[in-house]
Chain A
Amino acid sequence: QVQLQESGPGLVKPSETLSLTCTVSGGSISSYYWSWIRQPPGKGLEWIGYIYYSGSTNYNPSLKSRVTISVDTSKNQFSLKLSSVTAADTAVYYCARTRGGPIFGVVTAVDYWGQGTLVTVSS
């Protein structure tokens, strides 16, 4: 059974960089897309972006200028960095395994989720 666990600071100051790491256990990070998804308190889900195990990435255009997702296959981990954060970035951040379609880059469903971690942006 694949399990994902987010780790990182729960409080980030405005204008600073939010950094989270996701550790994958129970399976290899290879051959899948790995996503970050967030959910502001009381609101819906927003896909932030994904990284393929080979390092290829794709980001939500609304966040693209501030997002970097990286992978460390030797540690079975992938990470999120979101720069210049504001209060609007306060959310529960989920890491997740994402299924791919027959064409590279097509993502079809999120089948395993981490428990989520609340990140609050406040001075």
Chain B
Amino acid sequence: QSALTQPASVSGSPGQSITISCTGTSSDVGGYNYVSWYQQHPGKAPKLMIYDVSNRPSGVSNRFSGSKSGNTASLTISGLQAEDEADYYCSSYTSSSTLLVFGGGTKLTVL
């Protein structure tokens, strides 16, 4: 069982917006602004999409945005494109001895 909770799957049509949630506790998501999001295509390494809750690395499309409210962080993808179909993982620093925890992953299907 993962430390952070994500929906197993979400779907949307091209051009639409979707949001993926990531729920933790006050020891991780709620306690620190160190939530990150990763995109993983089949057979590939994860790619950093969002760090520190809402910051985009250079080269990541501005269609990807992140936010946080309480113990839940969210990744929103606007203007869905076929290439966005992938697995998405959230992660957070945690004050527990584990230090870095991941969500179980969400499979995004572009209909």
Contacts and interface: CB of A to CB of B under 8 A. Distances in A.
A3 B57 CA distance: 16
Contacts of A116: 45
Contact of B48 (A61, A111, A114, A115): A111
A45 B102 CA distance: 6
Contacts of B47: 113
A16 interface: no
Contacts of B105: 44-45
Interface residues of A, number: 25
B23 to A, nearest CB: 15
Interface string B48-67: 10011000010000000000
B98 to A, nearest CB: 6
Contacts of B51: 99, 108-109, 111
A46 B1 CA distance: 11
Given A44-B2, A101-B93, A116-B45, A107 B104 contact: no
A46 B51 CA distance: 18
Contacts of B2: 44
Contact of A110 (B44, B48, B101, B104): B48
Contacts of B97: 61
B102 A46 contact: yes
A94 interface: yes
A43 to B, nearest CB: 8
A106 interface: yes
Given A47-B99, A114-B45, 18 more contacts: A44-B102, A44-B105, A45-B38, A47-B102, A50-B99, A50-B100, A58-B99, A60-B98, A94-B46, A105-B99, A107-B99, A107-B100, A108-B93, A109-B36, A110-B48, A111-B48, A111-B51, A116-B45
16 contacts: A45-B89, A45-B91, A45-B102, A47-B98, A47-B99, A61-B97, A61-B98, A101-B93, A107-B100, A108-B34, A108-B36, A108-B93, A110-B36, A111-B48, A115-B44, A115-B45
Interface of A: 35, 44-47, 50, 58, 60-62, 94, 98-99, 101, 105-111, 113-116
